[in-house]
Structure 1
Amino acid sequence: MRLLRPLLLASAMLASLPVAAQELRIGFKAAVTGADPHQNYTPNRNVQLHVYEPLVLQDPFMRLQPGAASAWRNIDPSTWEFTLREGLKFHDGTPVTADDVVFSIRRASAATGLRTFVAQTRNVASVEAKDPRTVIIRTTAPTPLLPVQMAVIAIVSALAAADAGEAEFNGGRAAIGTGPYRWVRYTPGRDVVIERAASHWREPEPWERVTFRFISNDSARVAALLAGDVDVIDNVPPSLFGEVRASDRTQLITTPGLFTLYMYLDHFRDQVVFATGPDGQPLARNPIRDPKVRQAMNLAINRVALAERGMEGAADPIGQFAGPGFIGHDESLAPPRHDPAQARRLLAEAGYPNGFGLTIHCTNDRFPGDSRTCQAVGQMFTAVGIRTIVEPLPAAVFFRRANGNATQDPEFTAFMAIFASSTGVASESMTTILRTRNRATGAGSLNRGRYSSAALDVALDRVDSIFDDAARERAMGDAARIAIEDNAIIPVFSLRASYGLRRGLSIVPRGDQYTYATTIRVAPSR
């Protein structure tokens, strides 16, 4: 509660400001690829949540708040009831009914491709309209986290979206939601324009029009802010923090974030291409399958140096799946200490007294500092005897090779990428990146190392069955401890959300690093 109180006070202050006909211009690093809210892609969702609303909203620490639903309750362990807001309407003036919610959840659960909501709807057995304002969701098993999972499913108009495809959403015909803004224009590769909705259940927004300009180049995005071409930018690179702070026209805001850099490890191959003996020859067995080798790799990483120097203060060391204040954070799981001497001893005990060779892969354009961090980790591994070659790749190439597909396994042996669950819940992160893969339920959909642990699966099953919030968070810590002690994956640091604003504006920063016009206001005069 201590963490939330300042944010709640700030939100109340922002809501009290008068409505004015103004335009807000946001410089956005990632290009939006479409208006269909049932394709689960973070940059798209950031913009789409201005237009569409889920049943349940999330505060800056991802805790739940009423959204399109004014209330929800579990009738029995496998049945949830959601009550829609009275008088809720779509942007075209038609009333929102339970049938629209049923349509939306079914549509989201049926979406195909890499960016789906199958994990969030994995336990949904049926969705029914009890009456025009009441939705009943039945699950295949007790699902205490269902409201959290519903927080990422946007409600669309069944009338407008029926049989609609990409063109209908992007053009605006099907892009009908209940949010504080309505969809106006999408220009691929350039911008998205939204305008204040004629009415909304919250106080009217002060911004009549909001433009999200796509400026992928970090220097160009900062230059646009400094020149006054945009009012706000996201993802300020740490190397340019000083420029934003130094200008008398701009200000820098940072906050702890959800996105965590992990080192994924190959757990499923007996032999690997990217690990070799001291002489460069292939190894008879995959060294990473040895727990002592994984622990040695973990201890070789100096997280404090990476966060403070390598990332120039734009990251926080982490040793688990949720940072302080977020759902599932466990105070007892501190970031591992940097202990190169112990790492060398563990390698010797594992049968590698002379170390071995390793190639690690990472992105070079996913976040500011990704390639530099990867190079630093490679040097840390080399210092303990794991002679490391670093291969940074463009994200489009990296993820194609790292994820694999239905007919091809992931290629890499040790590789680094950032991840955050859209729910902001630690157990959902583990379900996505570490649970034993199950295509039917969506579990392990991004389990790139093909890790499988019966103990972890059972622990996560237990989390999924507990309805008491405090007890469930303790159980998340128990599950996280299993994965961390086994070095199933190696958390390195969490990225801080960073925003540049022109002076005279204020923002309530979010842990998911989203940039919401609804949290940006003209600062009150002092």
Structure 2
Amino acid sequence: MQTGRFRKAAANVLVATALVASASSGVQAAPAGSLNIGLGGAVTTIDPHFFNATPNQVIAHCLFDRLTERSPSGRLEPGLALSWKAVTPTVWEMKLRPNVKWSDGKPFTADDVLFTINRARNVPNSPGGFSGFLRDIAKAERVDDLTLRLVTPAPAPNLPAQLAFVAIVSRHAGEGASTDDYNAGRKTIGTGPYKLVKYVPGDRVELERNDAWWGPKQPWQTVTFRLIPNPAARVSALLAGGVDVIDDVPPADLPNLSKNKAVHVASIPGMRLIFLALNFKAKTGSKWATDTDGKPLAKNPMLDRRVRLALSESINRTAIADRLMQKTAVATGQWLPPGAYSYANSVKVPPYDVGEAKKLLAEAGFPQGFKLTLQTPNDRYPNDAGVAQAVAQMWSRIGVQTTVDARPWNVYQRERDDYMAALWGWGSPTLEAGYLLSNVLETPDKSKGHGVFNFGNYSNPQLDSLTDKAMSTLDDGTREKLLVEAVEMASRDVAMIPLLQMSNFWATRVGYVMTPRMDERTLPINVAPEAAK
């Protein structure tokens, strides 16, 4: 079975650690049958193909399956596909799992996969969907009910890994169905471990166990995700017993929770990068970038590499990681952790040099600086608005008078293409550099599935060519060299401003044990009654 071609074992890089903060006495078994999860991120849809955001993926993982899956440590595993192999350099053959039923009792077949591939590429009004994961598929062919062939225009070594992100939906329920139909539960028919009971936007998602699921029987008859974006409220709900598990544990609360005998804390090194995206689309300034008198700038300052470099070098990333994030994150200059496949050893954490930053600004024609608004969500990533405030203060020290505009996640996304500077997070659960390159930095091209999340509209034809070459190279060693070269190129051009590499934390009440996931997803299948451990 083809399970990926990563040269370095992910297990050597991403090893789960559990910080158990309870005494051995007094541990009680979890209540049978129910699980309540306090989710920090906003679930904005039940449609598994509408918007690729981690909270949405969490719910999709409960209701639907994928052809391939990821273990908590990131290992590629069978899902609805039992095996896969490259029968030629441009043809992948997948053998599908037999005897799988949809939650309405109808059989799963290869035809459902063909329907899914077409639908996931063409969801109306999608703000950021899944076409990037399917970009390598030129043609999908049904050989028989349980055999599928995927034809690619060039070798596509990462295709099995990319398919671990695309939920498979049924043709019989999904044909003609809208996103509203999925949100209302009318067409939410899946093969996953749970079935949808109710979705209340901004409040909760209620699920019940799918006893016909092909996987191991789940201990939870019902699962309720409570959507609690406020960190303090999330911790309070855990301590009061209103929820059994919370994610995105606030860094400031970790010391006390780790000492609390009624709580377990679990963590794992993550693949989430917190970074700043800059606007490469605007030719002039905007309401988000003006001169010191508040007048529109004649040119967009972000188009000048010297300005981008000045903004980067004025940020004390280590101080943010150690003090503000209390060492739940580490400073970084790229988007993979050291030791990972395609990590560029030559790309260091950018130096913190206020004097050099001021000099660069003056050389770029801004000796007095300018005014800038930094956009950030305030309920999506751990301490997101706090990180933005710290960056704003550092930018102000070099003359870039920065105001922070913090918004709830569902509001923040609406104007994202117009922001001059914005804080975002991006995970790389494929464990290689190409996932971010092709989705975040490649020149946007909807027809090819390129740059689906390139909200700043960065464009570098040289980088595009190098990325495409890397992503179609079968040899692991050669591909890694090309990806490292691409990381180096993006870094030199300051295509984005990487800030922090996050670790992932969860807290559970005694009686519940969470297996932490590298991809930061809070899945019921990874929570077990403590007595079962």
Instruction: State the TM-score, normalized to the length of structure 1.
Output: 0.88
- Matched-pair contact (CA < 8 Å) for 2:15–2:268: no
Partner of 2:26: none
1:6-47: CA deviations, max 9, x gaps? 6599xxxxxxxx999522211122343443222234222202
CA 388–221 in structure 1, closer or farther in 2 if over 3 Å, else same? closer
Check whether the contact 1:182–1:197 (CA below 8 A) recurs between aligned residues: yes
Aligned with residue 208 of structure 1, among 210, 213, 221: 221
Counterpart of 1:153 in structure 2 is: 166
Show the counterpart of 2:269: 256
Residue in 2 aligned with 1:191?
204
Q: Does 2:403 match 1:389?
A: yes
Indicate if the aligned counterparts of 1:86 and 1:133 stay in contact, CA closer than 8 A: yes
Q: Deviations over 1:301-323 (max 9, x none)?
A: 11111112122333222211223
Classify 1:190/1:284 alpha carbon distance in 2 versus 1 (closer, same or farther; 3 Å).
closer
Q: Secondary structure at the match of 1:54?
A: coil
- Aligned pairs for 1:265-414 (under 5 A) are 265-273=278-286, 274-277=288-291, 282-324=296-338, 328-403=342-417, 410=418, 412-414=419-421
Runs of 4+ in 1 over 6 A off after TM superposition: none
* Partners of 1:19 and 1:204 within 8 A in 2: no
Flag the 1:214–1:137 CA change in 2: closer, same or farther, 3 A: same
Paired with 1:333 and 1:234, the residues of 2 have a C-alpha distance of 31
Q: CA deviation at 1:276?
A: 4.5
Distance, in Å, in 2 between the alignment partners of 1:6 and 1:370 is 25
C-alpha deviations, 1:49-72, integer Å up to 9, x for none?
122111000123434211110111
Q: State the 1:127 CA deviation.
A: 1.4
> Among 250, 255, 260, which residue is 1:247 paired with?
260
The corresponding residue for 2:90 is 78
- Whether the 8 Å contact between 2:373 and 2:402 is mirrored in structure 1 is yes
Among candidates 182, 187, 195, match of residue 169 of structure 1: 182
Q: For residues 58-96 of structure 1, what are the alpha-carbon distances to aligned partners after superposition, in whole Å with 9 as ceiling and x for unaligned?
A: 123434211110111122232211111233333344332
TM alignment of 1:10-89, pairs within 5 A: 21-42=32-53, 43-89=55-101
Rounded to whole Å, the distance in 1 between the matches of 2:312 and 2:87 is 45
* Contact 1:145 1:464 (C-alpha < 8 Å) held by counterparts: yes
Specify the alignment match of 1:237 in structure 2. Answer: 250
Q: Aligned equivalents of 1:307 and 1:470: distance in 2?
A: 33
- 1:472-511 mapped onto 2 (5 Å cutoff): 472-511=479-518
C-alpha contact 1:128 1:136 (8 A) present in aligned 2: yes
Which digits, 9 at most, give the CA deviation of each residue in 1:225-280, with x for residues without a partner? Answer: 10112110111222332442343211222333233222122334442134445666
CA contact (8 A) 2:40 2:228 kept: yes
Q: Which letter maps to 1:398?
A: Y
Q: Does the 8 A contact of 1:70 with 1:83 survive in 2?
A: yes
Task: Work out the CA distance in 2 between the residues paired with 1:359 and 1:349.
Answer: 22
Moved more, 487-496 or 384-393: 384-393
Q: SS at 2:392's partner residue? A: helix
In the alignment, is the contact (CA less than 8 A) between 1:20 and 1:206 conserved in 2? Answer: no
CA distance in 2, matches of 1:470, 1:508: 32
1-structure distance, mates of 2:532, 2:13: 24
The alignment partner of 1:186 has SS state of strand
Provide the C-alpha distance between the structure 2 equivalents of 1:402 and 1:525, rounded to a whole number of angstroms. 45
Match for 1:379: what amino acid?
A: Q
SS at match of 1:506: strand
Name which of structure 1's ranges 227-236 and 112-121 shifts more when overlaid on structure 2. 112-121
Change (3 A) 1:391 1:153: closer
Report the AA paired with residue 515 of structure 2: V
Superposition RMSD in Å: 2.9
CA contact (8 A) 2:74 2:429 kept: no
1:180 counterpart letter in structure 2: P
Amino acid at match of 1:55: L
Counterparts of 1:63 and 1:193, CA distance in 2 = 29
Partner of 1:14: none
Residues 128 and 452, structure 2, Cα contact 8 Å, conserved in 1: no
Report the more deviating stretch, 276-285 or 246-255. Answer: 276-285
Query: 1:111·1:117 contact (CA, 8 Å) conserved in 2?
Result: no
Aligned equivalent of 2:121, options 95, 109, 112: 109
The one-letter code of the counterpart of 2:101 is: K
Residue 415 of structure 1 is matched in structure 2 by 422
Q: 1:170–1:350: structure 2 CA closer, same or farther, 3 Å change rule?
A: closer
**One-letter code of the match for 1:516?**
L
Call closer, same or farther: CA 1:24–1:3 in 2, change over 3 Å: farther
| Aligned mates of 2:135, 2:407 — CA distance in 1 | 32
Pair 1:3-2:3 in alignment: no
- Is residue 134 of structure 2 the alignment partner of residue 125 of structure 1? no
CA deviations over 1:125-172 (Å, ceiling 9, x no partner): 221210111011122333222212211111222223333334543454
Secondary structure in structure 1 of the residue aligned to 2:46: coil
User: Contact conserved, 2:140 with 2:151, CA < 8 A, in 1?
Assistant: yes
What CA distance in whole angstroms lies between the structure 1 residues aligned with 2:279 and 2:13?
A: 39
- What is the CA distance between 1:425 and its match in structure 2? 4.4
Task: Structure 1 unaligned segments of length 5 or more: list them.
Answer: 10-17, 404-409
Kindly indicate whether residue 450 of structure 2 is the aligned counterpart of residue 439 of structure 1.
no
- SS in structure 2 opposite 1:292? helix
SS of match in other structure, 2:138: strand
Distance 1:281 1:193 in 2: 50
| Aligned 8 A contact 1:19 1:206 in 2 | no
For residues 19 and 265 of structure 1, the distance between their equivalents in structure 2, rounded to whole angstroms, comes to 47
Structure 2 length-normalised TM: 0.87
Give the distance between the partners of 2:477 and 2:414, measured in 1 at CA: 39
Q: How many Å apart are 1:491 and its aligned residue?
A: 0.6
Letter in 2 for 1:85: R
Deviations 1:280-309 (A, max 9, x none): 655443333222222222111111111121
Q: How far apart are 1:351 and its partner, in Å?
A: 4.2
Any idea what SS the aligned residue of 2:506 has? strand
* More deviation, 391-400/490-499: 391-400
- On the 8 A contact 1:156/1:177 being kept in 2, the answer is yes
Aligned-residue offset at 1:455: 1.3
CA distance 1:329–1:402, shift in 2 (3 Å): same
Letter of the 1:3 counterpart: N
Judging changes above 3 Å, is the alpha-carbon distance between structure 1 residues 184 and 483 closer, same or farther for their aligned structure 2 residues? same
In the alignment, structure 1 residue 428 sits paired with structure 2 residue 438: no
Partner SS state of residue 221, structure 1: helix
User: In 2, are the aligned partners of 1:263 and 1:416 still within 8 Å (CA)?
Assistant: yes
Aligned to 2:389, the other structure's residue is in SS state helix
- What's the secondary structure of 1:335's corresponding residue? coil
Partner SS state of residue 208, structure 1? strand
- 1:119 deviation in Å? 1.6
Q: Which has the higher contact order (CA 8 A, sep 6+)?
A: 2
